[in-house]
Amino acid sequence: MVKGAERVAWRTGLAGKEAVMIAARRCRCGDTRRELPSAKAVVIGDLATMAGMRQVAEAANAVGRYDAVIHNAGVGYREPRLETGDGLEHVFAVNVLAPYLLTALIEPPARLVYLSSGMHRGGTASLADPQWERRPWNGAQAYSDSKLFDVALAFAVARRWPAVRSNALEPGWVPTRMGGPAAPDDLSLAPVTQAWLAVGDEPAATVTGGYFYHQRPREVAPAVRDAAFQDELLGYCAALTGTTLPEFAGSAGLAGPAGLAGPAGLAGPAGAAAGWSMRSRSWCRPATPSLG
């Protein structure tokens, strides 16, 4: 299943594979069908609201279990601060909460791929004001933060679901509507690593807990590998949505990044939101956090 793909390029990356596409609006459903006529199904949904996210998950599950889910829908850094129907800041809602809730609700696939950005290295690993209610709005910082959260989510899933290969990547600064016409990177290469992580058979593509750029490992902001911060993010998203990331033990022994042994049997604690208290959407870590 693919969300938000550059559809022409995906025809090559997913050649010979059955794909389910998500179109954010009904008017784009026909475009998706024309650009990727081999798609098994097109799911239409609003990823800016929790109700819409749940509808997408329900429709996706109705199609069947997936070999891979690629979370690459998102909004960019040029937008003003907007609130969704749930009263959440929309960059956080679409870029972070949607992949979290879809991950929690869609039956776990064999592989999960999360789209991040090189801008995540400028993100702040803090949940003190994730909805930008007390700070002056800064779209670039909000976007950078959201992409840092996405990598932390990918790594948290890799740690908690050892049977699932969960990785993140940056596609480069490409000339999409989000990136702008002056972006220097090659648009045709943007989806290649996503498809490679979703369907590739070579050892480099069958790891978990990795971060990639053009099919090569790349360094990440150190905070995203902090298990306590990962659990903090999961707890915050769980409390917002009322849905915790379920336990999914599966089989262990997957390769980690750079060929290291993957996580073995690490399951998250039941009730990921335990220990959190809400103070006008401000969140603080418990004095003794539960790390699972």
Q: Which of 114, 143, 211, 236 is catalytic?
A: 143
Q: Strands 41-44 and 20-23: what pairing?
A: parallel
CA geometry: angle 280, 127, 94, nearest 5 deg: 90
**What is the H or E stretch that residue 211 is in?**
strand 211-213
For residues 31 and 155, what is the distance between their CA atoms, to the nearest angstrom? 33
Q: Please choose, from the candidates 194, 193, 197, the residue with its C-alpha nearest in 3D space to the C-alpha of residue 215.
A: 193
User: Is 147 designated active site?
Assistant: yes
Considering the candidates 66, 147, 211, 236, report the single residue annotated as catalytic. Answer: 147
The two tokens of residue 22 are 């998500």
Q: Residue 68: beta bridge partners? A: 111
**Which residues fall within 8 angstroms of residue 180, CB to CB, at 6 or more apart?**
none
Burial call 239-254: b when 16+ CB within 10 Å, e when fewer: bbbebbbeeeeeeeeb
143 included as an active-site residue: yes
Closest C-alpha to 210, from 147, 158, 257:
257
Catalytic residue list: 143, 147
